[in-house]
Copies of this chain bind each other. A is one copy, B any other.
Amino acid sequence: MLLFLRSKDLVPAARERLTNLGVDFQLVSEEPIFEIRAHLSIYSPPVLATKLADLGRVETGKSRTPLLDAMPSGHEVVVEVRGRTEPIRFRNQPRQAVWIAGPCSLDESNNLEENAARLAKLGVQVLRGGAVKPRTSPHEFQGVGRAGYSQLARAAHAHGMACISETLSEDDVPEAAEFLDIIQVGARNMQNFALLRKLGRCAKPVMLKRGPGATLLEWASAAEYILNEGNRRIILCERGVRGLETELRYTLDLAGAAFMQHRYSLPMVIDPSHATGVKQILEACTAGALAMGFAGVMLETHPRPAEARSDALQALTPEEFSAIAGRHLHS
């Protein structure tokens, strides 16, 4: 992005304005022209241009995410749920964040009905549970299959909760759209563009998890694929990126999520369970996420973690989850 100052006398004022906006720049020419780092700044190109317009002409270049840039701030994703009077609202800086909880995978070790009853009573608004599971190895449990979608929906709706589950391929979408209230795109499929396009043509809210190797711009661009097909009901979910540390499963990028929340208007949910894999710090991460103003949090819970067929170590027992919810989920 280039700022062609109206006059040389404005150099000090421009320097001060750009610094105070927190925008990286260099004065590259004696014209004078300021060159502004334009990759993905904290402001969209049109917003930044407006903030600088009085100083001279601004050449913004093309935005990488024009559809996201055009969305109004305070965008809200409203989820209507069968059998629930009030819809569930996902938006950043919420009066009350949305809590999503449930087991990693739907399997015989879960009593979904009992689970749902307990979580609903604690104030959880969305029941999660994997039906088709993306597992690193083909020799690991692959989930109960799409039949799980309707079971999950039944359990959730019976208690006035919405339900969310993941799709792994375009073929999963029709059945998912029939039963689920929110369709999840998992981290491994963040750039499965065929799937994103299909979900963009579907009427359901989509929760797009960040890929563990994805930059913020790649993540925003994946959302842009869904928007480009017409679906504006997009929720982002930060679940950790690959980093240098190996004690935790991934590096939970709360600051990156805050950047996204400031730059774009899509609601952001934080998933500390998958990000860290360490149950002892889930409460701290949840408290942090709530204080940072994110739209929601997602936590894994299991009645008996030792029997879970996936991600047992990070699953909170009912008692552990109740304690956290009691301290942080004020319904």
Known: A139-B66, A252-B255. A213 touches B192 (CB 8 A): no
Among B61, B64, B241, the residue within 8 A (CB) of A251 is B241
How far, in whole Å, are A75 and B279 apart by their CA atoms in the complex? 23
Specify which of A39, A225, A256, A289 lies most central, judged by the most chain B CB atoms within 10 Å of its CB.
Answer: A256
- Chain A interface, number of residues (Cβ within 8 angstroms): 96
0 or 1 for each of A222-261: is its CB under 8 Å from B? (1 = yes): 0011001000000000001111111110011111101101
Among B228, B242, B312, the residue within 8 A (CB) of A242 is B242
B19 engages A136 (CB within 8 Å):
no
B245 engages A244 (CB within 8 Å):
no
Interface segment among A20-28, A100-108, A174-182: the answer is A20-28
How far, in whole Å, are A188 and B215 apart by their CA atoms in the complex? 13
Q: Answer yes or no: A203 CB below 8 A from chain B CBs.
A: no
Q: Answer yes or no: A53 CB below 8 A from chain B CBs.
A: no
A306 engages B19 (CB within 8 Å):
yes
Q: Answer yes or no: A171 CB below 8 A from chain B CBs.
A: yes
Chain B residues within 8 Å of A139, by CB: 64, 66, 224, 228
Q: Answer yes or no: A194 CB below 8 A from chain B CBs.
A: yes
Q: Answer yes or no: A10 CB below 8 A from chain B CBs.
A: no
Chain B residues within 8 Å of A129, by CB: none
Known: A137-B64, A137-B65, A306-B16. A171 touches B194 (CB 8 A): yes
Q: Answer yes or no: A216 CB below 8 A from chain B CBs.
A: yes
A136 engages B217 (CB within 8 Å):
yes
B258 engages A284 (CB within 8 Å):
yes
A19 engages B291 (CB within 8 Å):
no
* Shortest Cβ distance from A287 into B: residue: B291
Chain B residues within 8 Å of A293, by CB: 284, 287
Given contact pairs A42-B281, A261-B284, enumerate 9 new A-B contacts (beta carbons under 8 Å). A136-B221, A170-B171, A188-B192, A192-B192, A212-B213, A215-B247, A243-B243, A243-B253, A258-B288
List 23 A-B pairs, Cβ < 8 Å: A22-B280, A23-B313, A135-B193, A136-B218, A136-B221, A168-B193, A170-B171, A188-B193, A213-B214, A216-B245, A241-B244, A241-B251, A243-B253, A246-B246, A248-B259, A254-B254, A254-B255, A254-B288, A255-B276, A255-B285, A258-B284, A259-B276, A262-B284
Interfacial residues, chain A to chain B (CB-CB below 8 A)? 1-2, 4, 12, 15-16, 19-20, 22-24, 26, 28-29, 33, 35, 39-42, 59, 61, 64-66, 134-139, 168-171, 188-189, 191-195, 211-218, 221, 224-225, 228, 240-248, 251-256, 258-259, 261-262, 272, 275-276, 278-281, 284-285, 287-293, 304-306, 312-314, 317
